[in-house]
Structure 1
Amino acid sequence: MDSLFIEDIGVITVVIFGVVLLLVMGLTLILFFYLSRKKIIQKELEKKTLELNHQKEMLKATIVAQEAERNRIAQDLHDAISAKLNVVSLSANFLLEEENVTEQETYEIINHMLKVTNKTIESSRKIAHNLLPPILEKFGLGAALEELCDEFNNSKKVQVSSKIEYTTGRLSKDNELHVFRIVQELMNNSMRHGKAKGIELNFNPKEENLFLYYKDDGLGFDTKKIGIQKGLGLRNIETRVSLLQGEISYHSEKQKGVEVEITI
């Protein structure tokens, strides 16, 4: 009897120990899954926060770029249009108010007014062209980029070599304008800040994506300090690349020019 009782106690002890062990293992697994799930949720929240901060930065950069563009247009209108129209207005008032104006003086004033008017018309065309190049609207991105390269070549200040392989309509009109502005900004940066004498531009398909390669032989910059040196131009470029859902990388050294690779 005693031996059977002892055996029963032993069995009960083993069962209780097994149940406790299973409970501990169960609680451990539950705690593990809880902590793992909490960590995953925390990572997701951090990721979402980073995305939101990035979107805020892009929005801020877009607003800054828009304001800068508005200021530039306002300055162009003031310098190139308002000032010239003011000259025409003064000349017209002079002819109306002055009585002792000779025929020769009248002819000279009118001739000057016509010249100023023609210059004003030409200035307004340039401003309109900068806002939206007509060739981009009519013939697409490829033709617009070729014309842009020709314009820089014709300036005689820089030599541009280009290879553009683009099928019209592959990008939407808005996205074509983004690409055009990116290349325009890169070229302007090369001329103004890089003092470049040579520019290379390749724009072509790469599998399912579009690949843009840009290089100049200008002053270059330290890529380690790009976050500090990043001006409005580079921020504007990065904002447009983001809107295109693309990726951008810079390669540069001081006095060794700049290479930019963009995949759209």
Structure 2
Amino acid sequence: MVEELFTGENQIVSIILIAIGLLVFMAIAIVLFFYSSRKRIIKSELEKANLEIDHQKMILQSVIVTQEEERKRIAQDMHDAISSKLNVVSLNANTLTEDDITIEETNKIAISILKITNTVLESSRKIAHDLLPPILEKFGLKAALEELCEEIYETKKYESTYQLNYKENFLIPNHELHVFRIVQELINNTIKHSDATDFSLILKTEENHLSLQYEDNGKGFNLKKLKKAKGLGMSGIENRVLILNGDLHIDSKLGAGIKIYIEINSS
């Protein structure tokens, strides 16, 4: 009877020990599972962070390239519109110092210098306007875009239509400048590359959303070759849209013009 009792107690102890062992095993398994899961989550987050860093590096690199392209363009404009003309002024001024120059020649050279000086001043204003349009700084994006479209319309070479339903101060000034540059580049592409006769611009803001639609009736281009079409300046537009955390959609084909859709959410 006593032996059976001890045998029963041993079985109970064995069962308890086995249960404790299973609990310990399950606890270790759970700890290892959570450790492994946490490790995978951390690894995934690190990979995601690295991808975001790489993406930001690409944006930064693209912005730097765009800035360098703009600097080269400005330098070329200054050389073509100012430096070369100032060289002519310098040559004329040296001629005025010659002893045998007549009064008639002096007056002729003076008139030439005056004309060139006026041209240089006008070119300087234009370059300064391209760098930062005064109307954009003083009156905002809507007024600047109206002026830009009106300037093109007044050339009588293009039919232009525009609808600008823009809420004042919807974007911060720096972002307004990016939107202005985007439209400016689109119009430049129309003028330089498209052989178009008209273009249209629609800009509107609703709550925290801005949408921009631009199209022309030019010759269009093959979207598959877009990345190779460096002369179209599309990389600069893409970079600015990235900076604005916007979405860009391009619709174009040969002989059918181009349509650009840009969506931006205001933060």
TM over 0.5: yes
Distance of aligned partners of 1:32 and 1:149 in 2 relative to their CA distance in 1, 3 Å threshold: same
Q: Deviations over 1:90-140 (max 9, x none)?
A: 1121121141x3333222222222111111111111111111111112211
Q: Which moved more, 1:74-83 or 1:8-17?
A: 8-17
1:155-234 map, 5 Å: 155-218=155-218, 219-222=220-223, 228-229=227-228, 231=230, 233-234=233-234
Is the CA contact (8 Å cut-off) linking 2:238 and 2:248 kept in structure 1?
Answer: no
Aligned residue type for 2:73: R
Match of residue 117 from structure 2 = 117
Q: Superposition RMSD on alpha carbons, in Å? A: 2.2
Match of residue 81 from structure 1 = 82
Aligned residue type for 2:248: S
CA distance in 2, matches of 1:146, 1:238: 23
Q: Deviations over 1:204-255 (max 9, x none)?
A: 1122222222233441432x665x44748333223323333x2212132422
Match of residue 91 from structure 1 = 92
Q: Which moved more, 1:41-50 or 1:157-166?
A: 157-166
Structure 2: runs of 5+ lacking an equivalent: none
CA distance in 2, matches of 1:157, 1:7: 107
Distance of aligned partners of 1:52 and 1:196 in 2 relative to their CA distance in 1, 3 Å threshold: farther
Distance of aligned partners of 1:225 and 1:9 in 2 relative to their CA distance in 1, 3 Å threshold: farther
Asked if 1:236 is matched to 2:236, the reply is yes
Secondary structure in structure 2 of the residue aligned to 1:170: coil
Aligned length: 260
Aligned residue type for 1:123: S
TM-score (norm 1): 0.88
Secondary structure in structure 2 of the residue aligned to 1:199: strand
Is the CA contact (8 Å cut-off) linking 1:217 and 1:258 kept in structure 2?
Answer: no
Match of residue 135 from structure 1 = 135
Is the CA contact (8 Å cut-off) linking 1:220 and 1:254 kept in structure 2?
Answer: yes
Distance of aligned partners of 1:37 and 1:191 in 2 relative to their CA distance in 1, 3 Å threshold: farther
Match of residue 22 from structure 1 = 23
Q: Which moved more, 1:4-13 or 1:144-153?
A: 4-13
Secondary structure in structure 1 of the residue aligned to 2:247: strand
CA distance in 2, matches of 1:116, 1:250: 45
Hey, which bits of structure 1, 4+ residues long, moved more than 4 A?
none
Aligned residue type for 2:91: L
Structure 1: runs of 5+ lacking an equivalent: none
